[in-house]
Chains A and B, each alone.
Chain A
Amino acid sequence: MQQEESLVRRAQQGEPEAFAQLYEVHFDRIYRYIVLKVRNQADAEDMTQQVFLKALESIGSYRWRGMPFSSWLFRIAHNQVVDYFRKRRKEKTLPLDETRAVSSADPTLLAEQRLMMEQVAVASGQLTEAQREVISLRFAGGLSTAEVAKVMGKSEGAVRVLQHEALVRLRRILSSSNEEANG
């Protein structure tokens, strides 16, 4: 954390290498968070780049007090996603067919993962907005509960409650859809 604080300070002083290191640490997580929300690879790629350009533009205004850098960055990503859906409200969500899974080397695993991604995406659609956000930030973004709380402007306790409720609900939806599939 201290190392990140010093990187942020150096980036604020205009050191490109420091910003580059912050970019390396957070790039994959930001992309993952966005692509699972917008479910379109090309748009997710554009938006990920935009997040970092915005961060670079406004890093001078970032203050460490109480808000970890990752939370600040994810808040920018969240705002991008909100803007995206505001603009595309009437358009249909695209499938995740082009998204690259980590296990893409094995075609069977890849197919399984895509199926699982679809199932989880459909099930997540039945969660409340806040529950969905907690799940995205926690599992796709890899943020801690404290960091999620800062992004969402809630207490850590409230985030833990939302996380619990979301998992209970996801479990119910996923098991009922599995029962339907099995006959």
Chain B
Amino acid sequence: MAEEFEHILDECIDRLLRGESLEQCLQRYPEQAAQLEPLLRVALATQKASSVEPRPEFKVQARQQLSSVLYRQKPKAQPGGVPLLDLAKSRIRGGVEGLRSRPVWQKALASALVVALIVGLCLTIPALLGQSPVALAEELAIEDPGVQILLIEKDFDPLGVHRAAVKADGGSIYYVYLMNPKDDALIGTVTVDIKERMVTKIGLIEGSEQFGPVAGVSKEDIVQIARRHHRVREILDNWAEVGRMSCLCSPQRKVVALELRLGQKRWLVKIDPTEGEVISIFER
């Protein structure tokens, strides 16, 4: 008897939690209504007292923090090659385990693939682990959101631009020369610090604009400004990761380029920190 009542009470609580009214619940069980009602009222009061929600600012901040951890963990070919090694290990392990229950031809094919994978890794991993400083400088320059935005604005496809890096001093500074692949004309110069893994200056030959690192404005401030634009908000709320930020600040104008990443997708957001507004968004 008590067990039956506990079942009914439990079912009514489920219904209340799903949004059904107290009266509807009681109508289902008229015989137990008198006993159910006071308990369901307490259940409703408890549910109401438990209806708290996290602060919206906290939700945004927590989502961004987790997002950066999530996308950092994603296995991809990065300099250093460790995630790739892990991925390779797991693939090899999975492949070997899978061999046990398969037909002979499948085993042969799988073995060939494993061998090919191992050979491929032998050729690729040393290259990744030992990426040359020149190649790293070129990669950092062309991946910089400020450089990308400038090239887009000047109608140069960043992927089509030739580049060549030279060491600027005895330390970690490199100049990366951006060349137009059509006529090999110099487009601009990007100064990269490979130790800090950042672009410190962008100079275009056409025009006198010289761009440098961001000063007097934090990444959080820039993200806040960017979020004022509905499209950026939509992208960030869809778990995009905030990537690198680059300054296009000169005496004439002050612009910040911010990169947003979501899986393979990438957006470049151009922001005017003085006016506190988004100038444009490029999807790459």
Q: Tell me, in angstroms, the Cα distance from A110 to B51 when the chains sit together.
A: 11
**With A45-B58, A139-B43, A139-B46 as contacts: A16 and B70 at CB distance below 8 Å:** yes
**With A160-B7, A164-B5, A164-B6 as contacts: A17 and B263 at CB distance below 8 Å:** yes
Interfacial chain B residues near A101, Cβ < 8 Å: 51-53
CB 8 Å contact bits of B32-76 with A (1 = contact, 0 = none): 000000110111011111111111001100110111011101110
Q: Tell me, in angstroms, the Cα distance from A174 to B46 when the chains sit together.
A: 11
Whether B54 contacts A27 by the Cβ 8 Å rule is yes
- Most chain A C-beta atoms within 10 Å of own C-beta, residue among B41, B47, B49: B49
Please, how many residues of chain B have a CB less than 8 angstroms from a CB on the other chain? 40
Q: Tell me, in angstroms, the Cα distance from A144 to B13 when the chains sit together.
A: 10
Whether A138 contacts B13 by the Cβ 8 Å rule is yes
Whether B50 contacts A16 by the Cβ 8 Å rule is no
CB 8 Å contact bits of A112-134 with B (1 = contact, 0 = none): 01001101110000000000000
Q: Tell me, in angstroms, the Cα distance from A20 to B14 when the chains sit together.
A: 27
> Quick one: closest B residue to A96, CB to CB?
B52
Whether B45 contacts A120 by the Cβ 8 Å rule is yes
Interfacial chain A residues near B71, Cβ < 8 Å: 16
**With A56-B69, A144-B14, A157-B3 as contacts: A170 and B49 at CB distance below 8 Å:** no
Cβ contact of A99, chosen from B13, B47, B52, B65, cutoff 8 A = B52
A residues adjacent to B (C-beta < 8 A): 14, 16-17, 19-20, 23, 27-28, 31-32, 35-36, 41, 45, 48-49, 52-53, 56, 99-103, 113, 116-117, 119-121, 135-136, 138-140, 142, 144-145, 157, 160-161, 163-164, 167-168, 170-171, 174
- With A41-B55, A45-B62, A163-B9 given, can you name 19 additional A-B contacts, CB distance below 8 Å? A16-B71, A16-B73, A20-B67, A23-B66, A27-B62, A32-B53, A49-B65, A49-B66, A56-B66, A99-B52, A101-B51, A113-B51, A116-B45, A117-B50, A120-B49, A138-B13, A140-B50, A167-B9, A171-B41
